[in-house]
Structure 1
Amino acid sequence: MDGKHMQIGEVAARTELSLRTIRHYEETGLVVPSARSQGGFRLYTERDVERLMVIRRMKPLGFTLDQMRNLLNATDRLDGDQVPPDEREALLERVRGYEQGAAEQIAKLRVQLSRAEEFARTLRERVERNQSTTVS
């Protein structure tokens, strides 16, 4: 990371999150701007963007804000220096649990997507069948 700071608008564009959503995540303590400009504007780093991307990816899988916070705390700690081996293993186990939860949610979403595609296909076939009979 080069230490470059970005304003919230640039972060919003990069993460495809609204300004309001980013501010909400700040209010809930999930992400905190790394700095403030002299004018009081929020300033973010690449690391802050990465945190927001984790949050953005967890949301459609149904994770709660508390679960997001829990995972981020675990990964922050894992990324830190000198984590005792027993604590490191506990943190890794926590991350593995989230990985398993994500995999389960993805499987459920695939089933839902398959059903939705089947529904759309059924409607398309019905339209096509009825168009061919009205054209004749």
Structure 2
Amino acid sequence: MSSEHMQIGEVAARTELSLRTIRHYEETGLVIPSARSQGGFRLYTEADVARLMVIRRMKPLGFSLDEMRALLEATDRLDSGDPLPAEEHAELLARLRGFEEAAQQRVADLRTQLARAEEFAGTLRERLDRAPAR
């Protein structure tokens, strides 16, 4: 086995994703192991880990598997090294901008939810602090 390849357990530890989750992403076509060992074990590269990290970061923002796939397809195409027609390049960049804007909005929404949750927890703490001891 090449030192540049990792088995799924190492990838799971590095990405903080479960083996089951990584296998699910493989089944849905979001990430494909770069190779297989002679024994049939999945082997991953740094590029595969980077791809899984993109997926891991999209998940808590509520992006669907189809949205993840669309983003990964756009970045794969942009990173392919193949010369792209200007129109396609512009369309792919526009798609990336759309994802960036959606991510920023979802982060802002999460900050609002967090502020409300902290306010609620603070209200409960204040109430408990005022409660007479028995």
Q: Corresponding residue for 2:133? A: 134
Q: Corresponding residue for 2:55? A: 55
Q: Corresponding residue for 1:76? A: 76
2:87 maps to 1:86 = yes
Where structure 2 has 5 or more consecutive residues not aligned to the other structure, the ranges are none
Whichever residue aligns with residue 105 of structure 1, its letter is R
Q: CA RMSD in A?
A: 1.3
Aligned 1:37-48 pairs, distance under 5 A: 37-48=37-48
CA distance in 2, matches of 1:42, 1:134: 59
Whichever residue aligns with residue 96 of structure 2, its letter is V
Shift of 1:83: 1.7
CA distance in 2, matches of 1:30, 1:126: 48
CA distance in 2, matches of 1:11, 1:29: 17
Identity level (%):
71
CA distance in 1, matches of 2:19, 2:86: 39
Whichever residue aligns with residue 56 of structure 1, its letter is R
CA distance in 2, matches of 1:15, 1:99: 22
Whichever residue aligns with residue 4 of structure 1, its letter is E
Q: Corresponding residue for 1:121? A: 122
How many aligned residue pairs are there?
132
Where structure 1 has 5 or more consecutive residues not aligned to the other structure, the ranges are none
Structure 1 outlier segments of 4+, above 4 Å = none
Q: Corresponding residue for 2:65? A: 65
Q: Corresponding residue for 2:100? A: 99
Q: Corresponding residue for 1:11? A: 11
SS at match of 2:22: helix
Contact kept? 1:3, 1:45, Cα under 8 Å: no
Residues 47-100 of structure 1: per-residue CA shift (max 9 Å, x gap)? 000000000000111110000000000000001121222211100000000001
Shift of 1:120: 0.5
TM-score, structure 2 as length reference: 0.95
CA distance in 2, matches of 1:75, 1:35: 21
Shift of 1:12: 0.2
Shift of 1:134: 2.1
TM-score, structure 1 as length reference: 0.93
* Cα distance change on mapping 1:30 and 1:3 into 2, 3 Å: farther
